[in-house]
Every structure is written in C-alpha cells, then in structure tokens.
A and B are shown apart, each in its own frame.
Chain A
Amino acid sequence: MAGNYKKVNRTLKMTLWERVYVFEIIRGVLLTASHFFPNLWGAARSYLSGDPSIRKIKTIYYPEEVPPIPEAYRGRPVLVRGADGKEKCVACGLCEVACPPKCISIVGAMREDGTRYPETYTLNGAVCIFCGLCEEACPEEAIVMSYDYQNLCEYDRSLMVYDKEALLIPEEKLSKRLEYIRRRMYNKCNY
C-alpha cells in the first residue's frame, strides 16, 4: 500500500485569529445562515406560486409530486390489445421461455380462421423481476413493459396474479413505449 494516500495533519497549528474562536464561529454561522435563508425563501415562493421547480431544496414531495419517468423505464409488463380489439399475442411461448423467474404461463388455442391466441395468459406479479426479457423476446410486440409503478402492492399475493383481462391494455395507450421499442430495435440492427 505504498504511495497513494494523503497524510492528515493532526497537529495543526492554528493562527491566533482561529484560536480566538469568535470570528471563525461567526464565519461558520454565516455559512449555515446562507443556506437557511435561500432555502426558506425558495420554499415560501414555491408554496405561494405552486411551482415546485423554484424550490432550492431538490427533494421531491413524493405522493403529491412524481419524478419524471425515463423512456427506458421498466414498469409492470402488459399485453397489447390491437386496434381490432383482439390481443396481439400468438401464444408462441417465447416470453414464457425467456422469463428468468418463470412467472408467465400460457395456454394457447386456435381461432376459426387459423390464427393462434392465448386462451389464458397468467403473469404472477409477485414473482416478476421487471427484467424486460419478455418484451425483448416477443416477436409480435405483444407484451411490453408499461410505465406503471404505483399501487402494484397487495396484502395478499394471490391478488398479484394478473390474468389476461388484467394485462390487456389498448395499443394507443402504449404508443410511447411501442415507439421506443422500435427505435431501440433498429438501433441494435444498425438499421
């Protein structure tokens, strides 16, 4: 452990000015006061105008104010309901395979016109680790990570098992996420 350390001088000789205490204490008190007054002024102005951005203290008052969510944020996984009102999922089972904690289980079936659809699609929210691998595995853009992160907890784990109806969200509500997925995919392929 040679070399890269700094020795602390514990036998510091203070000047007379510093040893008088009073002036250095006044300096310290002025420093803390210089934090107190701008913070107080900023808080008062933000309270009166209702604009949190002019507060000097950058703490977010969480339930009342929410932080901005980045585009790549992975919230609760949801199924996309297409424009025709049917789910986009074709029950291929790739998400089921890709899922590391194995929280997805699908029972597939076939419609009269020969297209496949999931008869049941169960996602155990208590087991899900929000990794987003199902979204990456899906060839149909049928399961995506939404931006939901609030009110996902329950006192009973059985209430956290989402069935198909609980997972289906109309496509237009997920347009921001779908647009982001496409951009990310094309970036990967240097398209």
Chain B
Amino acid sequence: MFDYTYLPEPNMVPYLVETMAKIIFIFSMNMGVFAPLLGWVERKQSALMQDRIGANRADIFGFTLFGLVHVMTDALKLLTKEDFIPRGADRTLHYLAPFIAVAPALVAFAVIPFGGQYNLWGHKANMVIADLDVGILFVFAVASISTYGSVIAGWASNNNWSLLGGIRVGAQMLSYEVAMGLTLVGIFMVYGSLRLTDIGVAQENFFHWGIFLQPLGFFLFITCALAENKRTPFDIPEAESEIVAGYFTEYSGLKFAMFWMAEFLEMVTISAVLVALFFGGWQVPFVSHAMLADLFGFLGRDWAQVATMLVHVMVFWGKVLFWIFILMLIRWSLPRFRYDQVMNLGWKIILPLALVNIFITALVMLWVK
C-alpha cells in the first residue's frame, strides 16, 4: 500500500524549504528546549515529590527564575571543566563514544510524525522529516546504535567499573530490544503498517488509540522503553552504589554532558514513540482533522489548515510532555532492580507475554473478521 502522494513533488524548492524548516524545528526543540530544560525539570520535579524545594540559589542580577539559572551555570561549569582521558585508555574510542551515544537520539526523531498531512496553498505538507516505510524499525535500528556508544565508552575507559557498566548495557539492551520488537508486532498487526504517519492517521478515532487496542502491549512497551532508556528502575549500567557511574565513570566536562544529554533526548524520543504508537500521535481526542478544519473555517481554507496544523503540533508536544512527566515520576518513585531481576523480567516475563500478546491479537483479529 505505497502511497505516492508522500513522494516529493517534481518542484523541489518548496519540498526543500519544508524539510529544512522541519529539521530546524525538531533540532531546536530537542537541543534548545528539551536537552537543557529536562535537567531543571528533573531537579524540581524530584524535589517536589520528596517535599523539598530543589535548586534555586544561582541568580543573575538577583533573578533566580525558579532555579532555571542553574541550567546555565551547569553548562558553564561543564564547558570549563578539564576534559580528562585516563592513562591507558583508547584515546580515539574514548573520544568517539559520546558522539555515538548522542547522535542516534537526535536521528531517531526523523521518522516520528509531530503532525498530520496538510494541504497548504497547493503544497502537501507532511509533518514528519522522513516518512519512511519502515518508520518504527528505523527507530529501533538507530536506538540500537546508541548502545554502541555506551559499550565503547565502557571498553575505552580502561576502568573495571566502566567495563562492567558497558557489559551490563550490552546485556540489558540485547534482552529488551528483543522483547520490545515483539511487543510492537501487535501494533503492526492492528494498524497494518510500519509507517508512523499511517499509524497516526489510523488513530483519528479516539477508541482506536493504541492503548485501547493493545493494552497489554502498552504496559510491556513502556517497561521495555524504560529499560532502553537506562533510567532508574533499570539503571544497572550506571548503578552508583555498585559500579560508581558505570560506563561514564571516566568522562568529564562536555563529553559527560553529552551522555547526560543523550539520556534526556532518549527520554524525549521514547515519549514521542509512545505517543505516536499508543496515544494517537498528533490527534486531538474526539476531534477529527476535518472537524478542526471546519472549526477554523472562518480563516479561509488555507489558513484553517495552518491553524489545524498548529493545534496538532501543540497537542503532540503536550502529549510528549505528559509522558516525560510520567517517566520522571516512575524514575523518582521506584528503587533500582537487581541485575538478575532485570534479566529475569526481560527474558522470563516480558518476552513470553509479548508472544502471548501477538497470539491473542491474531485470534481477536480473526474473530472480528
């Protein structure tokens, strides 16, 4: 079911302009908004959850901005810190690892739709940077590459803790990648497509959202996603109480900041994938695309499409923010799993349940037909 309307038009200029605008938008959202702000969100949210007030002392001319100035002071501190490479470390790999870790988190966003398709002045605008056939598989492929960043960092540091952390990353990612892929097979079966824009369009009806069609799949996916993110319930690769800081023990300055940023960007990516697959993507509940366009009809046909687009993009980022909040809530509520518990959960519980989920989905689909 390849739809040729998604292909670039013969006239390349509007297509190029549109693509550049989308790339700049996504890049600035990720690097300009989420990467710096999530550090602040994490500090303040954890503080409020634990009845504390959080960092609020740094100020510029007396303005503390609710602790937002700490983000700038952090950046300044990390920029001016010594960039340390331990003796005996593999210098090239040690230098390369943070880049391998951070790039996939940015690239994965290329296939995630942050809005629908709009007909603007005769130009078909599709609110996704690259509308790939294999959309979600691309996300998986790229996310797996970021594992190499962590493993290489662990190997290149010439430090036993780092090496242990790197090995744990490898083991954990391998286990949960399998389970995660199988979890999503149910979604592919239900929507009949791997393309994320198709899945988004199919969720226009509120009761066709992924969470209603695949409730078990949702819980399995969010568990795997947390494990992929390497944050607290599953942060055995960087378990502070056991192996100092895991694979980034020997990193300092801006390279450490890149691992930190990779973690936050991965969280944004995971939230975006969750929204695209299970929470209706850019769709407003109970309000279809045509209804929104009618609502803004007084603006004229094209401007109504622009208004619809803005609403959809804002709804998408609102949903992403909500899921980031939930992920942070889970991260600051639960203690860390033990290493064997993580492996047991991955192989003995989630993997069989994912297979059962596929089977049940198939049976229900047969029965419905």
By a beta-carbon cutoff of 8 Å, the part of chain A in contact with chain B is 22, 25, 28-29, 31-33, 35-36, 39-40, 43, 56-57, 59, 61
Contacts and interface: CB of A to CB of B under 8 A. Distances in A.
Interface string B45-66: 1001111110010000000000
B219 interface: yes
Nearest to A55: B53
A100 B219 CA distance: 69
B103 to A, nearest CB: 32
Given A22-B219, A25-B330, A25-B334, A32 B51 contact: no
Nearest to B233: A25
A16 to B, nearest CB: 13
A39 B48 contact: yes
Interface residues of B, number: 15
A57 B52 contact: yes
B303 interface: no
Interface of B: 45, 48-53, 56, 219, 326, 329-330, 332-334
Contacts of B329: 29, 32-33, 36
A31 to B, nearest CB: 7
A35 B51 contact: yes
B330 A35 contact: no
Contact of A32 (B52, B53, B219, B333): B333
A185 to B, nearest CB: 42
9 contacts: A25-B333, A29-B326, A29-B329, A33-B49, A35-B48, A36-B329, A39-B51, A57-B51, A61-B53
Contacts of B56: 61
B330 A43 contact: no
Contact of A29 (B45, B51, B52, B330): B330
Contact of A36 (B48, B53, B330): B48
Contacts of A28: 333-334
Overall SS of chain B's interface: helix
A61 B332 CA distance: 24
A163 B50 CA distance: 48
Q: Which 5 residue pairs across A and B have the least CB separation, nearest first?
A: A39-B48, A32-B333, A32-B49, A36-B49, A28-B333
Contacts of B50: 35
Contacts of A43: 48, 53
A22 B53 CA distance: 30
B32 to A, nearest CB: 25
Nearest to A24: B334
A39 B332 CA distance: 16
Chain A CB count within 10 A is highest, among B49, B50, B326, for B49
Contacts of A33: 49, 329
Contact of B333 (A22, A31, A59): A31
B336 to A, nearest CB: 14
A59 B45 CA distance: 16
A25 B330 CA distance: 8
A22 B334 CA distance: 12
Nearest to B50: A35
A186 to B, nearest CB: 43
Contacts of A35: 48-51
A40 to B, nearest CB: 5
Nearest to B45: A36
Centre residue among B50, B52, B53 by max chain A CB count within 10 A: B53
A22 B333 CA distance: 13
Nearest to B332: A32
Contacts of A61: 53, 56
A24 B329 CA distance: 14
B237 to A, nearest CB: 21
A29 B232 CA distance: 14
Contacts of B51: 35, 39, 56-57
Contacts of B219: 22
A162 to B, nearest CB: 31
Given A36-B45, A36-B329, 9 more contacts: A25-B330, A29-B330, A32-B49, A33-B329, A35-B48, A35-B51, A39-B48, A40-B48, A61-B56
Contacts of B48: 35-36, 39-40, 43, 57
A36 B45 CA distance: 7
A31 B56 CA distance: 25
- The listed residue with most B CB atoms (<10 A of its CB), out of A31, A36, A43, A59, is A36
Which of A32, A39, A59, A61 is the most central at the interface, judged by chain B CB atoms within 10 Å of its CB? A32
A159 to B, nearest CB: 27
B335 to A, nearest CB: 10
Contacts of A57: 48, 51-53
A52 to B, nearest CB: 11
Residue among A35, A56, A57, A61 with most chain B CB within 10 A? A57
